[in-house]
Amino acid sequence: MGFSLCPQPLNSSFIHHRFRPSIPLGFYRTKVSCPRAMQQGEETENAGKVSVPHVLTVAGSDSGAGAGIQADLKACAARGVYCSTVVTAVTAQNTVGVQGVNIVTEDSVRMQLTSVLSDMHPDVVKTGMLPSPGIVKILCESLKEFQVRALVVDPVMVSTSGDVLAGPLILSSLREDLLPLADVVTPNLREASVLLGCAPLKTIADMRFAAKSIHDFGPRNVLVKGGDLPASSDAVDVLFDGKEFHEFCSARIRTSNTHGTGCTLASSIAAELAREGGATIVQLREKDLDTGDFLEAARTCLKICRAHNVPFLINDRVDIALACGADGVHIGQSDMPARVARALLGPDKIIGVSCKTPEQAERAWTDGADYIGCGGVYPTNTKENNVSVGLDGLRKVCLASKLPVVAIGGIGVSNVGAVVGPGLPNLRGVAVVSAIFDRECVSSETRNLMKVILDSMDGAK
């Protein structure tokens, strides 16, 4: 079996936008025991070792349980994610407004953060109400000390009911200290205008301007929520990832029951980030199963991928890809030519081709491939008699290719920085096999690899 992680879309028809635009592409393989044998109760080496996704919410308490940490707890539970809490304020709230706010002491916030982060190691931190600059500072110090993987910032300054929950004193702390650490920031219209010190946002063009301007403070992604947009019959949210705008539009639900909607959205995003290891494309690579069992495994994997909006490819077997409805195939130099695969699969499927030379890369382009897998970059035990091309061979293919390139072969945490760090043109990610599945916890190892990749890419800028 195999999966892939991807920084930029290889085919926009199938690669849906996700909240991490800089994720690399990779492949891995397991033995047949996943998924069929696991369904039959086969014991595995790591049976009983369960990694539970974990979100830490740093926010205020809502006595009415519609917003704040109470909303976060419910949203995370609905997604099968464990949620721990750090309470920053105790509020008196109900369905019509906020009647009182009592700020928790900075020492208490620091103690809560240290207790959870030092022992429970949450995957993602989500912030809500941060009522003082001192609390923002303590949070930023803790995030840096304990190296949390992802941060979702809901800049709660104005509640859905219109009550002010945080004053102007924290604005500079948010802009200068917290937002540069964030992976996703989710302001509503009023919060976006407060962050920018600008006039109220009234149009989608205003939302785009605000998203781009807030992105300049340093977060990876900005989602401006347009539920209160006065001139729109639909609910429109605008996401800016540093390169592109994405609009999420749905029919507006006519209701006054909107208390806590922002908290619920931000914690849902955090929960989804916590659930995933980072894969954005999955490839099933299997050499030993007969066709019937291979097809069964492919259908099982496809169902999982569909649930997470992750494109699913089949290695080599175009017939299996057609039979299960996969999003495409990855083929080698000795397999069916890409032009024939394209004729069979149609124009909208993803086709990747393994290449070792610029000449092979040019032929892949001519034959209609969508991306190139170049390698093995390093020696690998997942393919017999595979000649390594080394970093120099990868560089030559990247320079010559007209297609996105994925580095394949022998890549792991120890050497991935040397692959992605130089910032080679057209290199869109790496392929991983044993670097993931030879480890105790697949998801956590994927996240570890992802962090090294992103750090290396940031260092190359």
* Residues annotated catalytic, as ranges: 225, 258, 260-263
For 159, residues 6+ apart whose C-beta sits below 8 A from its C-beta are: 67, 93, 97, 98, 165, 259
Token pair listed for 12 = 């926009």
Q: How far apart are CA 53 and CA 444, in angstroms?
A: 10
Determine the 3-state secondary structure of 441 from DSSP.
coil
For residue 310, give the amino acid letter.
V
β-bridge pairing 124-127 and 150-153: parallel
Q: How far apart are CA 435 and CA 438, in angstroms?
A: 6
Query: Do residues 120 and 54 make contact, with C-beta atoms less than 8 angstroms apart?
Result: yes
Half-sphere exposure of 111 (CA within 13 A, CB side): 5
Q: CA quadruple 199, 201, 203, 204: dihedral positive or negative?
A: positive
Determine the 3-state secondary structure of 251 from DSSP.
strand
Q: Which helix (H) or strand (E) holds 301?
A: helix 291-307
Full DSSP string of 334-394: TSS-HHHHHHHH-TTSEEEEEESSHHHHHHHHHHT-SEEEEE-SS--SSSTTPPP-HHHHH
Q: Secondary structure of the chain: what % helix, strand, coil (to 5)?
A: 40, 20, 40
Give the Å distances, CA to CA, from 207 to 189, 224, 238, 385: 8, 6, 7, 55
User: What are 90's strand-pairing partners?
Assistant: 61, 102
Q: How far apart are CA 126 and CA 58, in angstroms?
A: 6
In sequence order, what E strands does 241-323 have? Answer: 245-251, 282-284, 312-315
Token pair listed for 200 = 């109220």
